[in-house]
Amino acid sequence: MKNRINVKRLPKDPGPAAWNRILPSSAGYPTLKDDIHADWVVVGGGFAGLAAARRLSQLVGDESIVVLEASRLADGPAGRNSGFMIDLPHELNSDTYAGSQHQDQQQIRLNRAAIEFARETAEAYGMERQVFDPCGKMTAAGTAKGLAHINSYRGHLDALGEAYELKSAADMKDWTGSDFYQQGLFTPGAVMIQPAAFVRQAARGMSERVSFYENSPVTSMQFGAEHRLITPGGSVRAKRVILAVNGHIQSFGFFPSRLLHVFTYASMTRALTPQEISRLGGVADWGVLPADPMGTTVRRSSDYRGSGNRIVIRNHATLNQSIEVSPKNMKRAAGLQDRSFANRFPMLDGVEMEYRWGGRLCLSLNSMPAFGEIEERVWSACCQNGLGTVKGTLSGMMAAEMAVLGRSDLLTDYLDHQQPKRLPPEPFLSLGANATMRWKEWMAGTEL
């Protein structure tokens, strides 16, 4: 066992977490100021951390559970994503798609178990439909290239026996108000969440059973019969620890040279006026995923507790192995998003973006999670390979089951994976990956 580690880097979240900003402010949780003891500590309050805490609370009787979050809940990536909880494998339409049918079916089963867990969480804590909406997902194309992607995606869905419905350009216009989309492909198993509201309400629901500490980053860890997690204001001693910090598991010294730190970016409009809403047309809440993997995700969300009706545009990705972005990255993303918005919503000319932000993803070359017992009684539930609303939830559930039960049917399926593959050396990795992403973005054309 290691004696001690110093955490090399703490999370830096570029720009505001807009989904959190548009919610009414709420009382937060204390900052850790004392030296305390707990039976269990979960580090990280995103999807993985919350799922781990909730699953632990179901499994460990009255043992105490503490969650330490570096920032404020819902200010990190968990509160800055597009909110699609997707049951189907994401890469069905990618060039690199090489999954076997058996693996895909296993992945779908696991994803659905995680969505079910999130659904139970939403029901237990009385979340409204605008927070957790089991509305399915629409993948849409605006160009011939996008249509080709939809076609190949359909082929994979047919092979898997998964249900879908095709939507015409007229259906898409009725639904979104935009002329941009030529075709849509609807699959019923996904859920759309207001990510920050989901995170906040899940934590609030658990808070009688689980002690949350915000603005309490773990800066070092001592390992022993009881591990000690040290933050700037205090520390927690605990026998068992779950690290649910996604890519920052590398900052704790684990999985070196195996994790890709990718940022993606988004912009949210100001609240639309009633005139703008009627010029736009379409329904009040919808979301569209791009048929081309390098394309643009769009969401329209209706007023929820005073948030106003808004549109969110997400695109662009950069590899930043420093786990930080530059102002140049943010500026380029803003330009691309303004162009995507103008292409889709000419009737909203003049509507400005109120918020712009970026957020971390963690990927591995072979799309494997960074999961398992990494030191005695320390488990990792990290590296969600992009789709962290679902895969984060899954890895948190699985880490809790592994730590408490040792085995379960779901865990047997989940553990059927390899370790994240070793990365090529720098500077070749960053130069190569960023050049490939720029080229794919360029090839995506107006799908972006």
Ligand X SMILES: Cc1cc2nc3c(=O)[nH]c(=O)nc-3n(C[C@H](O)[C@H](O)[C@H](O)COP(=O)(O)OP(=O)(O)OC[C@H]3O[C@@H](n4cnc5c(N)ncnc54)[C@H](O)[C@@H]3O)c2cc1C
Provide the binding-site residues for ligand X, judged by CB under 6 A: 7, 10-11, 43-49, 68-71, 76-78, 80-84, 217-218, 244-246, 248, 264, 266, 314, 359-361, 384, 386-390, 392
Residue 170 CB, nearest approach to ligand X (Å): 26
Q: Strand 235-243 and strand 35-43: pairing?
A: parallel
How many Å apart are CA 2 and CA 223, to the nearest integer? Answer: 7
CB-wise, 10 or 334, nearer to ligand X?
A: 10
CB-wise, 277 or 315, nearer to ligand X?
A: 315
Residue 72 CB, nearest approach to ligand X (Å): 9
Query: Encoding tokens for residue 57?
Result: 């609370």
Residue 389 CB, nearest approach to ligand X (Å): 3
CB-wise, 250 or 277, nearer to ligand X?
A: 250
Evaluate whether 334 touches 353 at the Cβ level (below 8 Å).
Answer: yes
Residue 81 CB, nearest approach to ligand X (Å): 3
CB-wise, 149 or 360, nearer to ligand X?
A: 360
Residue 82 CB, nearest approach to ligand X (Å): 3
CB-wise, 45 or 290, nearer to ligand X?
A: 45
Residue 425 CB, nearest approach to ligand X (Å): 25
Angle between helices 101-124 and 195-206 (to 10 degrees): 60
Angle between helices 101-124 and 388-404 (to 10 degrees): 90
Residue 396 CB, nearest approach to ligand X (Å): 7
Residue 266 β-bridge partners? 314, 357
How many Å apart are CA 350 and CA 101, to the nearest integer? Answer: 47
Burial 89-110 (b: 16+ CB within 10 A, else e): bbbbbbeeeebeeeebebbbeb
CB-wise, 71 or 183, nearer to ligand X?
A: 71
Write the CA distances from 86 to 153, 161, 263, 386, integer angstroms. 15, 17, 19, 11
Residue 51 CB, nearest approach to ligand X (Å): 8
* DSSP string of 50-79, one letter each residue: HHHHHHHHHHSTT--EEEE-SS-TTTSGGG
Long-range contacts of 118-124 (CB under 8 A, 24+ apart): 118/51, 118/85, 118/191, 118/193, 118/198, 118/389, 118/390, 118/393, 119/191, 121/50, 121/54, 121/202, 121/205, 122/198, 122/201, 122/202, 124/205
CB-wise, 33 or 174, nearer to ligand X?
A: 33
Residue 358 CB, nearest approach to ligand X (Å): 6
CB-wise, 277 or 336, nearer to ligand X?
A: 336
The dihedral through the CA atoms of 330, 370, 41, 397 has a sign that is: positive
CB-wise, 390 or 444, nearer to ligand X?
A: 390
Half-sphere exposure of 43 (CA within 13 A, CB side): 35
CB-wise, 9 or 424, nearer to ligand X?
A: 9
Count of CB atoms situated within 10 Å of the CB of 408: 14
Residue 13 CB, nearest approach to ligand X (Å): 7
CB-wise, 196 or 277, nearer to ligand X?
A: 196
* DSSP string of 366-392, one letter each residue: T---EEEEEETTEEEEE--TT-HHHHH
By Cβ distance, which residue is nearest to ligand X?
388
Residue 289 CB, nearest approach to ligand X (Å): 8
Residue 219 CB, nearest approach to ligand X (Å): 7
* Residue that is written with structure tokens 């906040």 in the block: 200
The dihedral through the CA atoms of 18, 19, 20, 23 has a sign that is: positive
CB-wise, 130 or 264, nearer to ligand X?
A: 264
* Residue that is written with structure tokens 């296993």 in the block: 106
* Residue that is written with structure tokens 């993985």 in the block: 48
